[in-house]
Amino acid sequence: MAGRDGRREWRDGMRELVRTNDLVKLSWLQALLADAGIEAVVLDVYTSVIEGSIGAIPRRLAVIEEDFPRARRVLEAAGEEMSV
């Protein structure tokens, strides 16, 4: 469902794909998904920043429920493993 600004609304339900502290990997995975037309969001960014650099709180990459099966296939085809 698109909001007023044309972006999808995330309240419909999300599924986590990956949990990591690797910012480069998160960026790469988002680019892979975007190339496939799948919008992804990184969760826990601010919490991770606040806790400092000890890596206690990983960031999570998530997509809306309806995109999850296709997102999973895209990541698997690229040789990426899902961490959840």
Cα→Cα distances 67→4, 8, 21, 56, 70, Å: 20, 11, 23, 28, 6
Q: In what order do the strands lie in the sheet with 59-64?
A: 14-20, 59-64, 41-43
Q: Which domains does the chain have, with CATH numbers?
A: 12-77 (3.30.70.790)
pLDDT in single tens digits along all 84 residues of the chain: 454 444 555 555 899 999 998 889 999 999 999 999 999 999 887 665 566 666 677 889 999 999 999 999 999 999 987 766
d(CA 49, CA 65): 27
